[in-house]
Amino acid sequence: MSRYQYRADELLVHVDDCGLIRSELAGHGYRAADRRGPLLRFVGEPDRRAVPDLLAELRARHGTGLRVSPNHVFTCDRIIWGLLRPRPTDKSLPEPPPVGAGEQVRVGVVDVGVVERDGEPHPYLRGRVEYGPDDVDTVARDAEGNPTGSAGHGTFVSALVVREAPNAVVHMKGVIDKTSGEVEDLAVAAAVDALRAEGVTLINLSFSGSTWEDSAPRAIENALRRLDSDVVVVCAAGNRGTSGVQFPAGTVLRRERVEDPEPAKVLAVGAATPDDEPAVAAFSGYGPWVSVYASGVDVVGPYFEPGYPEGYHGWAIWSGTSFAAATVTGWIAARMGDGRTARAVADELLASPPGKVEVFDVNGPRDVPFVRGLGSA
């Protein structure tokens, strides 16, 4: 089994390379379907070649510079009724000040969507999250009636952004599958493009996964390259407890040409304990590719409604790099305004962090910026 997840019947091909391999793809049962930016999606037929085998064959014939890749799939991994399942609590977050207090900051969240109660989001988020009919988190249940997939994840993430930044209004793009907790490369790219069109300059991506050849997912990378230089994209480093680079957090954007403008900034966020001397959480992704750590252990946030799941009271305690990323996103949002861009605040965070966590790698100990969240239990 492949270490990375992908759509088994799809390939993404750069338009400039389509002419070179279109006939070969057709011979293997793949036909062009749709386009996102410079990438064409090719969809296979039942007798198609397996994606990894076909990719290896194409690279062997045309060289490693060929721009073709799987349509990768990412997840809110290990987090729903698994290793990092939410736990019930009677604790709740204090109500933030009225939405009208101070200059509002729009924050994009690409996630599963927002859980509704009688057509409204959790009371903590009312008036603080904007979403459409396709961005509603309809709860999928298992045989015992417990939520499955990524249910409740978007609401929890959004609330942590608001907890740190009462001036924030979340723009939710609910593209993560409600049942499986999975989201594909192209769907994320479309959501990022939509947020760009809305003028959002701070975006939270609380999902992760490995990729073919450990390279950035092509559709997401291209969408991030279309963002302006003052935009910051905050990404979860993943819950695999490994130093292996996870994406989209590990995406590195550089100028392709000297005359190009500075690209958007991507922050990879790992989870740490909220102690006086924080330590990297055992489940967190780590390594030189992680930009910053934040409180991601035993975080309190809104969770469905009182009585569901059984023993819960509308709130939960949860752990994961998803929530560390949301904390950093909120921390940045709280300091934006009066001409200060998300990029300026993020640069300040890295240069003069509010805290530090000591990490160890092959080069010995080093200090990495740390943000202590307000939502810890």
- The pLDDT of residue 1: 42
Rounded-to-integer distance, Cα 66 and Cα 155, Å: 40
Let me know whether 276 and 356 are in one domain: yes
Let me know whether 54 and 83 are in one domain: no
* Any domain includes 197: yes
Q: Which of 28, 122, 153, 171 is catalytic?
A: 153
Let me know whether 205 and 252 are in one domain: yes
* Any domain includes 292: yes
Instruction: Give CA 38 to chain center in angstroms.
Output: 22
Let me know whether 15 and 154 are in one domain: no
Let me know whether 261 and 195 are in one domain: yes
* Any domain includes 207: yes
Let me know whether 47 and 158 are in one domain: no
Rounded-to-integer distance, Cα 266 and Cα 163, Å: 22
Q: Quick check: is 111 catalytic?
A: yes
Let me know whether 13 and 113 are in one domain: no
Let me know whether 51 and 93 are in one domain: no
- The pLDDT of residue 100: 64
Host domain of residue 332? 75-371
Q: Quick check: is 153 catalytic?
A: yes
Rounded-to-integer distance, Cα 71 and Cα 28, Å: 17
Rounded-to-integer distance, Cα 292 and Cα 324, Å: 9
- Cβ atoms 237, 323 nearer than 8 A: no
Q: Quick check: is 276 catalytic?
A: no
If one counts the domains in the chain, the total is 2
- The pLDDT of residue 81: 44
* Any domain includes 377: no
Assign residue 80 the CATH number of its domain: 3.40.50.200
Helix pair 321-334, 342-351: axis angle to 10 deg = 110
- The pLDDT of residue 150: 79
Task: Judge residue 225's burial from the number of C-beta atoms within 10 Å of its C-beta, 0-12 exposed, 13-18 middle, 19 or more buried.
Answer: middle
Divide the 377 residues of the chain into consecutive groups of 10 and give the mean pLDDT of each group.
Answer: 82 95 92 93 80 91 93 79 78 81 87 93 94 90 80 94 95 91 94 98 96 93 96 96 94 83 96 93 94 96 90 93 97 93 97 94 87 85
**Of 303, 369, 8, 255, nearest to 154 (Cα)?**
303
The backbone torsions φ and ψ at residue 111, rounded to the nearest 5 degrees and listed phi first, read -155, -155
Let me know whether 35 and 100 are in one domain: no
* Any domain includes 376: no
- The pLDDT of residue 2: 59
- The pLDDT of residue 260: 78
Let me know whether 33 and 136 are in one domain: no
Q: Which of 111, 135, 137, 185 is catalytic?
A: 111
E strands, 37-100, are 39-44, 68-75, 87-88
* Any domain includes 128: yes
Let me know whether 254 and 275 are in one domain: yes
Residue 337 has a CB neighbour count (10 Å cut-off) of 15
Rounded-to-integer distance, Cα 35 and Cα 171, Å: 25
Let me know whether 40 and 82 are in one domain: no
